[in-house]
C-alpha cells in the first residue's frame, strides 16, 4: 500500500510538472528574479509549442514577456508561435526584435531569414541567412544553406538553389529536407536516375511525404518502370488520399 501511494504521488508530481497545474505565480519562490521567472515560463511555452498547443503556449510566453521583454529567445519563440497562428505581422515584429537583442544567435537569424523568404522578402531573407552562416558558433550550417536554397527556388533561381542544397548536404549528408529538394530538382532537370538516388538516400533517414511519393511516381514513369509507378501510386493514394499530389495524380489518370 505504501509503495502504491508513493507511485501515485510520483505520477501526480509528474503531471503537475507537465501541465503546470501545480505552479502559479503567487506560489513561486519570492527569491526568484524576474529573469528566472521569464525563463521558467519560456521553457513551458516552448514545450507547449512543440506539442502544437498554441493557445496555452501563447499564454505562457506572454507571461514570460511580462517578466523580461528583452529576452531574445523569448521573442524568437513568440515569432514561431505567431507564424503558426498565421499572424505574420506580429511574427515578423518578434523575429526582428530577437535579432536586435542578440545578433550573434545563428538560430534566430536562420528563423527570421527563413520567415522573410517565405513572406516573399527574398533579398533580405538571404542576407540574414548568409549572416547566420558566417557566425563562428554556427555548427549546423545545413539549416541555413537549405533555407537559402528554398529562398532561391521561390525567387526563380534554381541553379543557385541547387548549389545551396548541395552545400547543405556537404555539411550533413543525411539532412532529409535537402535530399528531398534535390530529388525534386533532379526530376525537373530530367535526371531521373539521380532523382531516384536522392529518394533512396532520403528514405534512409526519413519517411515518405506526399511530395516525395509524387516525384517518385513521375521519376519511375520517366524511367519506364511500370511496376514501381504502380507501387508508389498506391502508396500515395493509401497514405495521403487527401493531398494535392494525390488529387493531381487522379486528375492525370482521368485524362489518359
Listed range (27-36, 93-102, 129-138, 145-154) with the worst mean pLDDT? 27-36
User: Sorting pLDDT into bands at 50, 70 and 90, what band is 31?
Assistant: confident
pLDDT of residue 224: 96
For the chain, the structural domain boundaries read 79-172, 175-256
The predicted-structure confidence for 234-256, as pLDDT tens digits, reads as follows 999 999 999 999 999 887 765 44
Q: What is the rounded average pLDDT for all residues in the chain?
A: 90
pTM here is: 0.84
Query: SS in 3 state form for the chain?
Result: CHHHHHHHHHHHHHHHHHHCCCCCHHHCCCCCCHHHHHHHHHHHHHHHHHCCCHHHHHHHHHHHHHHCCCCHHHHHHHHHHHHHCCCHHHHHHHHHHHHHHCCCCHHHHHHHHHHHHHCCCHHHHHHHHHHHHHCCCCCCHHHHHHHHHHHHHHCCCHHHHHHHHHHHHHHCCCCHHHHHHHHHHHHHCCCHHHHHHHHHHHHCCCCCCHHHHHHHHHHHHHCCCHHHHHHHHHHHHHHCCCCHHHHHHHHHHHHC
CATH fold label, 79-172: 1.25.40
The predicted-structure confidence for 187-209, as pLDDT tens digits, reads as follows 999 999 999 999 999 999 999 99
Q: Of 94, 45, 106, 91, which is closest to residue 69 (Cα–Cα)? A: 94
On the question of a common fold for 79-172 and 175-256, the answer reads: yes
As a whole number of angstroms, the distance between CA 56 and CA 157 comes to: 40
pLDDT of residue 251: 78
Please answer whether residues 212 and 183 qualify as being in contact, where contact means their C-beta atoms are separated by less than 8 angstroms.
yes
175-256 to CATH, choices 2.40.50.100, 1.25.40.10, 1.10.1060.10, 1.10.10.10: 1.25.40.10
As a whole number of angstroms, the distance between CA 52 and CA 47 comes to: 9
pLDDT of residue 7: 37
pLDDT of residue 27: 57
The predicted-structure confidence for 213-239, as pLDDT tens digits, reads as follows 999 999 999 999 999 999 999 999 999
Per-residue cell: 147: 533555407
Q: Is the pLDDT of residue 132 over 80?
A: yes
As a whole number of angstroms, the distance between CA 77 and CA 94 comes to: 8
Listed range (26-35, 79-88, 156-165) with the worst mean pLDDT? 26-35
Amino acid at each position: 500500500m505504501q509503495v502504491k501511494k508513493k507511485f501515485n504521488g510520483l505520477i501526480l508530481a509528474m503531471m503537475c510538472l507537465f501541465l503546470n497545474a501545480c505552479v502559479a505565480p503567487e506560489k513561486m519562490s519570492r527569491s526568484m528574479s524576474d529573469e528566472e521567472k521569464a525563463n521558467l515560463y519560456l521553457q513551458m511555452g516552448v514545450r507547449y509549442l512543440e506539442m502544437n498547443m498554441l493557445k496555452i503556449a501563447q499564454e505562457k510566453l506572454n507571461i514570460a514577456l511580462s517578466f523580461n521583454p528583452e529576452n531574445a529567445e523569448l521573442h524568437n519563440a513568440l515569432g514561431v508561435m505567431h507564424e503558426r497562428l498565421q499572424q505574420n505581422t506580429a511574427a515578423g515584429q518578434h523575429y526582428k526584435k530577437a535579432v536586435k537583442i542578440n545578433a550573434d544567435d545563428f538560430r534566430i537569424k536562420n528563423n527570421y531569414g527563413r520567415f522573410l523568404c517565405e513572406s516573399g522578402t527574398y533579398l533580405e531573407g538571404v542576407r540574414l541567412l548568409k549572416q547566420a552562416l558566417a557566425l563562428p558558433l554556427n555548427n549546423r550550417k545545413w539549416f541555413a544553406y537549405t533555407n537559402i536554397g528554398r529562398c532561391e527556388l521561390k525567387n526563380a533561381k534554381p541553379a543557385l538553389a541547387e548549389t545551396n542544397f548541395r552545400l547543405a548536404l556537404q555539411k550533413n549528408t543525411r539532412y532529409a529536407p535537402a535530399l528531398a529538394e534535390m530529388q525534386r530538382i533532379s526530376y525537373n532537370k530530367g535526371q531521373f536516375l539521380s532523382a531516384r538516388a536522392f529518394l533512396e538516400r532520403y528514405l534512409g533517414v526519413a519517411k515518405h511525404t506526399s511530395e516525395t511519393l509524387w516525384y517518385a511516381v513521375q521519376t519511375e514513369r520517366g524511367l519506364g518502370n511500370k511496376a514501381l509507378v504502380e507501387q508508389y501510386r498506391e502508396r500515395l493514394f493509401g497514405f495521403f488520399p487527401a493531398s494535392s499530389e494525390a488529387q493531381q495524380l487522379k486528375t492525370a489518370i482521368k485524362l489518359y
